[in-house]
Structure 1
Amino acid sequence: MALCQDDFGKLVGRVAVLRMAFGCPDTVPQAADWVRLGALTTKAIDYSMNTISSDADDSKGLVENVVTNMDLTISGEGEWRKRAKVTEIGPVKMSKYIFTEVQAQRQPGLWVRFDFLGADEGTYIQGYFNATSWSSDFGSSDFATYSGEWKVADADSVTFVDGSDIPVASVTVTPATSTGAAASTVQLTANVLPADATDKTGVWTTSDATKATVSSTGLVTRVATGSATITFTTNDGAKTATSAITITA
């Protein structure tokens, strides 16, 4: 049947897209800021996991390995055009940017985004990377080519977004208000929407621990006369909701 909603066919390299955006690591680019690098012939992502191996004699003859970290690397190769399109960075601008940053004794950093399934699927990895390799080849009887490599510059900026994930839209806390004497408790519940959101986890915090404390499960213990605000913040999307707690004598 044509135009099937679910396509389980094989993928080819053309579906991957390498995008970049100039900026600082503390500000995630807006959707309009991302542009393609250029006319690429290959795009690659390498987790480059570092491991240590165990030689203990309890492994039944199999060497056991432990992953310690990853040297995440994104790379690409492309062909020069006389002029880059307005929707591209292009090799000239990239070459100048890297040269200028290094000459000024700055890190040649920029935002890099690797779309695994093209523009519409929503599965990608992005973060703030440093350009760690850049070269061009101008053969006399072939297309002029360039290649680059980018490695993580700011680990906190790197995220992996799965297009099949359902994001959190909002959250509420019940009860929204609660009054009781010191030493009493009340169980708060975080209601995350939509109901089928992939990640419903979050963190409970209190505005004043001398008045009321809250556990990781939302159990509030009233401590002393006064009031406090208990906040739940979702891990996905940082959505927040509060409950006003009053403590009587």
Structure 2
Amino acid sequence: MNAGSTARTFLAPVALGVLALALWQALVVAFNVEPFLVPSPVGIAGAFADGVSNILSASMATGLNALIGLAIGAVAGIFVAIMANALGFLDRMLVPLVAALAVIPIVALAPIFYAMYGAAEETGRQLVAAVAVFVPMYLNTLHGLRQAEPVHRDLMRSYAATKEQTNRILLIPGAVPYVLTGLKIGSSLAVISALIAEYFGGPAKGLGRAITSSAAASNYTVAWSYVLGAVLLGAVFYGVTAALESFAHRQRSGR
């Protein structure tokens, strides 16, 4: 990556972010906007610094649920996609089910899982995240499994390869980039889903509960500091999966 590419990739977004924050601060000061409407970036940063230990603790709780949900959803999505690719009737059966899962709102799932497993348990939040991750993982994996060239499939058949061998040698390795793209998309969905699920009760130790509790107590700047914590948590999840995807691409290209 040359210097110009580095500037475009990293420095330009940072410069835009700094400009947006400066404009936000200037507008809040110029129009004397009350914190219950929109706190200033300086105020949010101060609240974040004062409560960094609490924010870190809440981020760990939400992040753990998101990570477990991401793992469950990813494994399930990959496995079901492999089965659907191998069995045509299963693929046809899953089309309406996956479409239904894709449009189910998180706010409807969370209370159902809480009723099933108890609001005091983290299981419901983890399953909400898993359901959100399953759809992009399934769709991306299935798409990747179907990208093998016909000539390569014919070659495997000419060698009398079994379906298991074709999957292991040809289809699954070729689907890896698509799987990693699904994982990158799912990582952000896992954090969002785990965060939203916390709005519906349960242990008051995650970011979602901290945001609602702070807002209910009229501590709006503190609530925004927890929002900042959620943004950083999502960025960490996305950054790790994006780095994993980039590493896999470099390995495949031999660089």
Instruction: Please state which band the TM-score falls in when normalised by the shorter chain.
Output: under 0.3
Give 1 or 2: higher strand fraction.
Answer: 1
Q: Which structure exhibits the higher relative contact order, with contacts defined as CA atoms closer than 8 Å and separated by 6 or more residues?
A: 2
Between Structure 1 and Structure 2, the one with more helix by share is 2
Larger radius of gyration: 1
What is the TM-score of this pair, normalised by structure 1? Answer: 0.23
